[in-house]
Chains A and B, each alone.
Chain A
Amino acid sequence: MAIMITVKLVGVFRIDRFKEQRYPFPSGSRATDVIEALKLSRRLLGIILINGVHASEEDQLENGDILTLMPLIEGG
């Protein structure tokens, strides 16, 4: 059974990808499955939000979730 996830990408992750897109994923999918499917660089990955709340790669996704993936920020 599939669940629908809205994936939002931020910063360099948008290059050659998208800003926001809805995706079907198998039930039981975790954030890490989306990251792998999109081939995002783990070196750059810094912040994961599920429905606006900080989350980890291992957190499981539910139907209708909004997953936001961002690179890490550094001071300047």
Chain B
Amino acid sequence: MKINTTDPAAHPEQILYTRCTIDLSNGQQTIEEVPCRNLEDVLGGFGRSFQDLAQRQIANAYCDENPLIVNTGLLTGSTAMTGMRTYFSSYSPIKGSLKGLPAAMWSAGSGKFGAKFKWTGLDELIFENRSSQPVYVVISESETGPHIELKPAEHLIGLSTHDKMMELQKEYDNAHFATIGQAGENWENVTMGAVALSTENQLKSGEDKCRFAGRGGMGNIMGYKNIVALVAQSEDKIKSVTAEVKKVNLNVIKGGGAARLQPINRGGGGGTWAAYDVLQAFHAVPVNNFRPQGNDIPEKLFRETVEKDYFIESQACYRCGITCHNNISEKNADGGRGEFLAKFDYEPLNLLGTNIGIHEAGQAARLIQLSDNYGMDAISLGVTISYVLSYNERHSDQPILNGAQFGDYEKIRQLIIQAGEGKLPEVGCGSMRLSQQTGETDYAYHVKGLEIAAYQPESNPGYAWAIAGGHMSMGTYGLLTREGKTDIDSWVKGITVDKLHIVGFDMIGLCKFFDINNGIGTQMVVDCLRSEFGFVVEGQLIRDAVRRAFLLGLALEFRQGYEKSEFCLPAEVHKNPNGQIELPNITSEQFFAQLEKRVWEIFDPELEGLVD
């Protein structure tokens, strides 16, 4: 970026980002210094990409006019802790309105690719049209600025996400990679393809420890465009950490909201896996397609149970002190670490474990690994499979697909393999489409076409207003469980004021665990921006920009054909309330109707005129 002002809110046009647009149909590329239109552009991520997507009228995600926008955030590659994010934005092949129009979508991931991308000198890469042959794209630094090259990729076709990276690593040193798996390649029959992002640990160990931009089928947009990988090759360009940023980083680790994500042996809560224990106390861990049974079956995947038989290591992203994820490996006879299996985060563990009736950690880990290797979004995959299993439980005389039942590891494994290889569009294209085919939509656990995360919808009516996935674009998932809020006023305020700010992290380049409860309009972020760029900007102006970006996302949903009636929870929640969940009922039809009315009273006037 070229920065010619200290006031990014008042003079965004004096900040220029470097954008390369590639026409894949002929290889032509244009590199431009683009003046920012507003603070959202300066912050980056979906704050910028959604403004560009809003300028396109797209009726089918798989069309040449639908761009794929790859960008970073302002603090990606900076000294601010967690500044590793890469964003992929496009009209989604999986999230769409009942009118059949695709929703604008972004997906974010860590790993080191984003920082390397930024260090090449590029801020944004837009792919137009599609290539006639499979290609990979090399982004490298040169004396004259970023250099972008398309290369033939036939030799990478059919390889997993991880294997593509291992292959590319032989050719490119000092580089990081973003790849799709077979699921991304088979875009015609899969719409939940993820983009995998390489990590330092992965490239050094050779073990499949990617991170993922999983949501919304961005891997399939890459696949449609015939791009199978991106390579970002650059020297590391981390500046020395200033006292100001050092103080912020220490606060992130010790004083901020991330403390509970630290490893247990450092006095932390043990990562997102710890949600199992807490939610189980309310019998709110999803079981068998989001129907908790009021028993102790989720405890089989508690950490204390799993660590008896498996080797667990807490590990961190590059230069991050939060150390939030737990890698699971086989345990050798001497108690040492055996073969690496998978990373246990709460969402994939639950949705490819307890919620499909798999209660053995090794089996759950193998399913997560399969999902990762084929390059599928573990949330969409797990929830679509749990729908299949639920259907088969209800129709034992006439089951669908291979007749898999809850807990049937081998048959579930086959479903994942077939879906990943593009041979099972019933699973590969998500629960909304499958449930429309079966005619039984009530227990398909998606909202607006995108499968929900592993928080019971009974605990989170805010899912309905999430703009890019249930829990990471609307932070209300803990409002009942964590904060005990049961009144309409708290929920209206949560949805329309406080909890939408979670999306700010998908603009600026930071992970949500930087300060998940407070968003990016904080003194910590203000201090980082002053130290890194000399910016003087008030936190409130950042909050205003995040709100505008969120509202644009909502407005785009309406532009793409969503009716207000589609801002809803899975119907089973209302029609067949689950009395086993030990939380106050805040999802009765009456409560939800009142919430809808109040929320739209606030949002409606702000949405007017935002898009054509």
Contact = CB atoms under 8 A, between A and B. Distances in A.
A53 B483 CA distance: 11
B267 interface: yes
B119 interface: no
A71 to B, nearest CB: 5
Given A72-B260, A74-B261, A75-B346, A53 B484 contact: yes
Contacts of B274: 11-12, 71, 73
Contacts of B582: 52
A37 interface: no
Contact of A74 (B264, B272, B483): B272
Interface in B468-488: 471-472, 475, 477-478, 481-484
B471 A43 contact: no
Interface string A1-39: 000000010111011000000000000000000000000
Interface in A45-76: 46-47, 49, 52-54, 68, 70-76
Given A53-B484, A76-B275, A76-B347, A71 B512 contact: no
Contacts of A54: 483-484
A43 B260 contact: yes
B268 interface: yes
A47 B272 contact: no
Contacts of B345: 76
A12 to B, nearest CB: 6
Interface in B253-308: 257, 259-261, 264, 267-275, 277-279, 281, 304
Given A47-B482, A73-B279, A75-B477, A12 B261 contact: no
Contacts of A52: 582
Nearest to A41: B267
Interface in B496-535: 512-513, 516
B555 interface: no
A73 B264 contact: no
Contacts of A41: 267
The range of chain B's interface size is 35 or more
B70 interface: no
Interface residues of A, number: 23
B415 interface: no
Given A76-B345, A76-B347, A46 B484 contact: no
B267 A43 contact: yes
A36 B346 CA distance: 30
B275 A73 contact: yes
**Which of B274, B472, B513, B582: most chain A Cβ within 10 A?**
B274
Nearest to A47: B482
B609 to A, nearest CB: 33
Nearest to A52: B582
Given A12-B270, A53-B484, A54-B483, A73 B478 contact: yes
Nearest to A14: B304
A11 B264 CA distance: 10
Contacts of A73: 274-275, 278-279, 478, 481-482
Nearest to A69: B281
Given A43-B267, A44-B259, A44-B269, A75 B471 contact: yes
A24 to B, nearest CB: 24
A14 B267 CA distance: 13
* Most A Cβ at <10 Å: residue of B257, B347, B482, B512: B482
A74 B277 contact: no
A46 B273 CA distance: 15
B453 interface: yes
Contact of B269 (A8, A53, A71): A71
Interface string B556-573: 000000000000000000
Contact of A10 (B259, B272, B277): B277
A15 B475 CA distance: 29
B459 to A, nearest CB: 11
Nearest to A72: B260
B90 to A, nearest CB: 24
Nearest to B302: A11
B271 A72 contact: no
Interface of A: 8, 10-12, 14-15, 41, 43-44, 46-47, 49, 52-54, 68, 70-76
24 contacts: A10-B278, A11-B270, A12-B268, A12-B269, A47-B481, A53-B484, A70-B281, A71-B260, A71-B274, A72-B260, A73-B274, A74-B260, A74-B478, A74-B513, A75-B346, A75-B453, A75-B471, A75-B472, A75-B516, A76-B271, A76-B275, A76-B345, A76-B346, A76-B347
Given A11-B269, A47-B278, A75-B453, 6 more contacts: A10-B278, A12-B277, A44-B269, A46-B260, A73-B482, A74-B513
Interface of B: 257, 259-261, 264, 267-275, 277-279, 281, 304, 324, 345-347, 453, 455, 471-472, 475, 477-478, 481-484, 512-513, 516, 582
User: Which 5 A/B pairs are nearest by Cβ-Cβ distance?
Assistant: A54-B484, A76-B272, A11-B277, A76-B346, A76-B345
